[in-house]
Structure 1
Amino acid sequence: MRLDRNLCHLSIWAFVLMALWSPAVSADPITPERLTVALSKLEALAQGAVADGAVPGLAIAAVHDDDVIFLKGFGHREVGKPETVDADTVFQIASLSKPVSATVVAALVSDHVVSWDSKIADLDPAFRLADPYPTSQLTIRDLFAHRSGLPGTAGDDLEDIGYDRATILHRLRFVPPSSSFRAGYSYSNFGLTEGAVAAAMPTGKSWEEVADEKLYRPLGMASTSSRHEDFINHADRAALHVRVDGVWTAKIKRDPDAQAPGGGVSSNARDLAQWVRLLLGDGVYAGKPLIAADALDQTHVPLMTRGKNPVSGGESFYGLGWNVEFGRHGLSWGHAGAFSVGARTVVTLFPKEKLGIVVLTNAFPTGVPEGLSSSFADLVFDGSVEKDWIAAWDAIYAGLFGPAVEAAKAAYAKPSSPARPAAPASAYAGHYANDFIGDAVVSGAGDGLVLKLGPSGARSYSLAHFDGDRFVTFPDAETPDRPAGVSFVVGPDGKASAMTIDFLDDNHLGTLQRTGN
């Protein structure tokens, strides 16, 4: 969700909200007996979700008062294979990486390596935004709160065509802002990634090493990593699943190393339960202070408004790598994660009650993680589930791609009548480039063209003629039936002078000029 609105004085109002909010109070206290009943029903709901085919597999960890009160896996790591999910099965947790990374930075703040208000210009002088003033003032806090002005998709497109982290972060300087600096919320994977990478720079170590040193090893999170290679090396790991003709299929692999702080963590329920213990303990783990409470508390200050939760209706804000929500059960901290190629995760914490739950699944789209988390909260606070939360969240995620896919299909259902012919392949063939996308090569291939993009032409796309100087391709692995256009501007000399790639044009940077002959 992207909201661009004037947020003047928002932080003041956020503190007022926290002070004045009267959280929902359960009719009865959260007793051990109520937790026992809630956990029994949660287990039944999880078993039912797998049995009904809502997801191939999932794992859950729940914590209360510094105790891990539930830890279990359900279903299978990969459809069609016998290996089952257990508490040690490693999942790619996608954007659940963001609050994990916020905890790592909080540890650096606690150790006085950086502050949340350290300027990126001091930490990483080579980094640039499009405009000089935001570049000079940008802080770690700005990037973790998604208020830098970077559009939400900035850099994701470059990752899709194979560029590495350093190249992507360098090229963010060419992206025009979607809002004024600190005036709009725009969820950015690579903005947060830059904030984390810059925070680690004073240590002289890589982000991945710092995450190990400051969080994973101290908590004994032996199966957790910010390196994709480590995930692949785990025998007990969950595959990614998408629906193909209505059937879950392990079809696509995803290497998220480029955005490791924002989406590249892999972990299991057992390890994440230890992380939740640390958070609910205000930085104390197993009786030992690991992160200063004030450094960690900053991550949960509601800085940017996100509007209302689309299912529960609760008022939602963004802190530093965390959603901060005032809902039907009072204050909660949370974050979801998703890879459209097959992962869905969620964490929800109720800090006042020292209660937390993590749900990891190996499929997309599905509302199972939020559905189970919401159902568990209802059971703990109220003793019964208000409604079918899985179905409610399923409806949200099912609608993410459907309308856009159908609109794209309609746009390319048929060309103009009569259809305009294409020029000879030689009119389009050649080299093209711009500062953001880099180099592209178009060549003839049979009755169509081939477009190569990315470092050394890492990605290849077949272009079929559609109408005139417009061609069509199917670039998205997660929505393979969604067409996208590639159009050329052909001059009087019979050669294309420019090309616009629609699937790289979200930020109006998809037009490349011909270079050479």
Structure 2
Amino acid sequence: MKKGILVLWVIFNSCFSQNQKLVKNLSDYEHQILPLMDKYKIPGMSVGISHNDSVVYSKGFGFANIEKEIQPDGNTPYSIASITKPFAAAVMMRLVEENKLSLDAKIKDLYPGYEERCKRILGYFREEMPEYTFMLENYHPERNDITLRHHLTHTSENMPGDQYKYNGFLFGMLSVAIETATGSKFDDLVDSMIIDRLNLKNTASSQLDKSKKGMLNKIALPYNPTESGFVRAEFPNPKLNAGAGIISSVNDLLIFDKAINNNFLVSEKAKNLQFQPYKLSSGSLSPYGYGWFTQKYKDQTLVWHYGHHPGSFSALYLKVLEKNLTLIILANSDRLSHDFDLGKGDVVKSEFAKTFLDLFVGK
């Protein structure tokens, strides 16, 4: 066999073998997550997987609408909860690159009446909703050194920069700061800089987007599990902030993922900064970067985020950087995230993520 032909044969055989393994892993993952869907009482979910920026799997399970027996698929829109944060981070980093925003700007300078509002909300929590006081009881708006960077990295509580503590409420404040700095509505920035630019057909900046009424009529309905089945739940707050509110599908999120991978939304330098663990004042590393969780697993770099609207929706977005592999799951109950305490920064706690990693990275 001539050398050139031999090389081609080796390459072909290697690619064929890799494709066979990928197909088997995809099939195995489907068979393993279906029991998990039943175990965690999830009425409907959509799953998307990409490899080398190509969609290799997109499928729905269960029901997006139980009453009408409508099954979900890769284009079914869901409220993606905190997976809004990577969108917000992309907007912020692009504005920083365009010198329209500084991460070192003080939050109090870009949030009109913010100190009074924080105190008023904390007072309300203490009186009416004590279970939510944790969101503000360790935050000190009177300080003069809390920056956008601290909010973006979840290090704004107690002494800013000293410790990581996931706090979606404080992250959500960033949208007001962005609007003050740019003079533009945050919804419009998300639309122009991401949704319209990527031509995302099944994504809306919020459930209030009247221009997406037809698409939003197809949104998966939220449910809560009961002993005998499921009961309809209330939709979460329909407004958009930096922490939550976007509606999207797994297929559109995989388009967003490809754009992130190829530095289409922000530069490679900005992307790499987002994906690196934030260095705390002590020199130790946080499990969070700039809008993304990040951790090592078996010599692989995992960059990820989760979504959790209590009582309605949940989501998982997991990237394995060295393998250029992405998993996205959207669900119409909160049970995809409910039991795993992912805010502490370890995605392996999720059985849905661990099953995926066991197959595609190795046990």
TM-score bracket, shorter-length normalisation:
0.7 to 0.9
C-alpha deviation, 1:328, in angstroms: 3.2
- Tell me which of 211, 225, 237 is aligned to 1:243: 225
1:272 aligns to what SS in structure 2?
A: helix
Decide whether aligned partners of structure 1 residues 378 and 280 sit closer, same or farther in structure 2, where only a CA change above 3 A counts: farther
SS of the aligned residue for 2:354 comes to: helix
Q: Distance in 2 between matches of 1:132 and 1:337?
A: 26
The 1-side partners of 2:78 and 2:243 are apart by: 15
1:198 aligns with 2:177: yes
Look at both structures and tell me which one has the larger radius of gyration over its CA atoms: 1
Q: Does 1:298 align with 2:273?
A: yes
Q: Distance in 2 between matches of 1:216 and 1:198?
A: 21
TM-aligned CA distance change 1:81 to 1:132, over 3 Å: closer
Are the structure 2 counterparts of residues 124 and 75 from structure 1 closer, same or farther at C-alpha, using a change threshold of 3 Å?
Answer: same
Q: Secondary structure at the match of 2:156?
A: coil
Q: Which amino acid in 2 is paired with 1:237?
A: I
Give distance in 1, aligned partners of 2:335 and 2:360. Answer: 27
In structure 2, the partner of 1:435 is none
- For the 8 Å contact 2:316–2:336, the answer to whether it is kept is no
Asked if residue 377 in structure 1 is aligned to residue 360 in structure 2, the reply is no
Match of 1:187 in 2: 166
SS state of the match for residue 365, structure 1? helix
Equivalent residues of 2:201, 2:252 under 8 A apart: yes
Q: Distance in 2 between matches of 1:296 and 1:125?
A: 30
For the Cα contact (< 8 Å) 2:315–2:336, is it kept in 1? no
Amino acid at match of 1:380: F
Show structure 1 runs of 5+ residues with no match.
Answer: 1-27, 150-178, 285-289, 306-314, 387-517
Determine if the alignment matches structure 1 residue 363 to structure 2 residue 348.
Answer: no
**Residue 266 (str. 1) matches residue 247 (str. 2):** yes
Whether the 8 Å CA contact 2:315–2:337 is kept in 1: the answer is no
1:137: how far off?
Answer: 2.5
Residue in structure 2 matched with residue 90 of structure 1 by the alignment: 77
Tell me the secondary structure at the aligned position of residue 42 of structure 1.
helix
Aligned positions, number = 310
Higher helix residue share? 2
Q: As a proportion of its length, which structure holds more strand?
A: 1
User: 2:194 — aligned with what?
Assistant: 215
Is 1:56 aligned with 2:36? no
Matched residue SS, 1:58:
strand
Deviation at 1:199, TM superposition (A): 2.4
Q: Offset at 1:76?
A: 0.8
Deviation at 1:274, TM superposition (A): 0.7
**1:133, CA displacement in angstroms?**
6.5
Distance 1:251 1:36 in 2: 36
Q: How does 1:347-362 map to 2 (within 5 A)?
A: 347-362=317-332
Query: Structure 1 vs Structure 2: percent identity of aligned residues?
Result: 23
Give me the whole-angstrom Cα distance separating, in 2, the residues matched to 1:132 and 1:43: 47
Q: Superposed, which structure 2 residues align to 1:320-469 within 5 Å?
A: 320-328=290-298, 330-366=300-336, 370-382=350-362, 386=363
Letter in 1 for 2:178: A
Mark the CA change 1:108 to 1:96 in structure 2 (over 3 Å): closer, same or farther. Answer: same
Q: Determine helix, strand or coil for the equivalent of 1:147.
A: coil
1:374 CA displacement: 2.5
Any conservation in 1 of the 2:296–2:302 contact (CA below 8 Å)? yes
Measured in 2, the distance between the counterparts of 1:116 and 1:297 equals 16
1:76 maps to what in 2? 63
Corresponding position: 1:139 with 2:147: yes
Unmatched tracts of structure 2, length 5 or more? 1-13, 120-139, 341-349
190 and 91 in structure 1: CA distance in 2 versus 1, 3 angstrom threshold: same
* Cα distance change, pair 41–139 in 1 and its aligned pair in 2 (3 A): same
1:40 paired residue number: 27
- Give the superposition deviation at 1:304: 6.3
Name the SS for the 2:66 alignment partner. Answer: coil
TM-score (norm 1): 0.55
The yes-or-no answer on 1:279 pairing with 2:243 is: no
1:353-389 Cα shifts (integer Å, max 9, x gaps): 211111111112345994333222221223xxx5xxx
CA-CA distance at 1:89 after TM superposition: 0.7
- TM-score under structure 2 length normalisation: 0.76
Task: Give the root-mean-square deviation of aligned CA atoms.
Answer: 2.8
Q: What residue is the counterpart of 1:514 in the other structure?
A: none
